[in-house]
């Protein structure tokens, strides 16, 4: 009897985890208008002109999820001044390796195609905005 209960609980838990990851993927696929999803195919063309902030992150990364609303706030506030994009390190492994991203979240600020600066870890909206403004 106990084994049957454990199996039912285990099955429920697995279903819950599977559904949670499905919802996370769906959220990632419907990025806001102010943050673009960047893949290997469009990375280089995205960073070529102007000021572009790229968030190298992963779905499984807690600090990356914590940074997401901060990025959205900054992207909304600075719309027209900087393009903000996200790269999933698990999907874009070649780009991640090319830019030597070894920790997430890593923010790389590009100016006209060249890396201007980078930041690893969480930042608050004010410090992120100041950091970006220092490169304008």
User: Do 97 and 65 lie in a common domain?
Assistant: yes
Assess whether 2 and 49 both reside in one domain.
Answer: no
Give percent above pLDDT 70 in the chain: 76
Residues forming a β-bridge with 38: 87
Same domain flag for 6 and 60: no
Cβ(37)–Cβ(25) below 8 Å: no
pLDDT, mean over the chain: 86
68 and 81 in one domain?
A: yes
- Res. 7 pLDDT band, cuts 50 70 90: low
- Cα gap 111→117, rounded to integer Å: 9
Give how many domains the chain has, as a whole number: 2
* Two structure tokens written together for 18: 């599977």
> Domain containing 14: what range?
1-30
Give me the active site residues, please.
61, 64
Q: Are residues 49 and 113 in the same domain?
A: yes
Q: Do 8 and 74 fall into the same domain?
A: no
Per residue in 73-122, pLDDT (tens digit) is: 999 999 999 999 999 999 999 999 999 999 999 999 999 999 999 999 99
Residue 16 confidence (pLDDT) = 47
One domain, residues 7 and 65 = no
- Which pLDDT band holds residue 1 (cuts at 50, 70, 90)? low
What is the reported pLDDT for 33?
80
**Same domain (yes/no): 55, 105:** yes
Token pair recorded at residue 7: 């199996």
């Amino acid at each position: 009897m106990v084994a049957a209960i454990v199996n039912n609980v285990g099955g429920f838990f697995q279903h819950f985890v599977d559904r949670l990851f499905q919802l996370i993927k769906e959220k990632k696929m419907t990025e806001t208008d102010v943050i673009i999803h960047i893949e290997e195919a469009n990375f280089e063309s995205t960073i070529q002109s102007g000021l572009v902030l790229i968030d190298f992150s992963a779905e499984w990364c807690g600090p990356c999820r914590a940074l997401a609303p901060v990025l959205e706030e900054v992207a909304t506030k600075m719309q027209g001044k900087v393009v903000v994009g996200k790269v999933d390190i698990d999907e874009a492994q070649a780009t991640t390796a090319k830019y030597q991203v070894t920790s997430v979240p890593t923010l790389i600020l590009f100016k006209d195609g060249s890396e201007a600066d980078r930041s690893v870890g969480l930042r608050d909206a004010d410090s992120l905005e100041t950091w970006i403004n220092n490169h304008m």
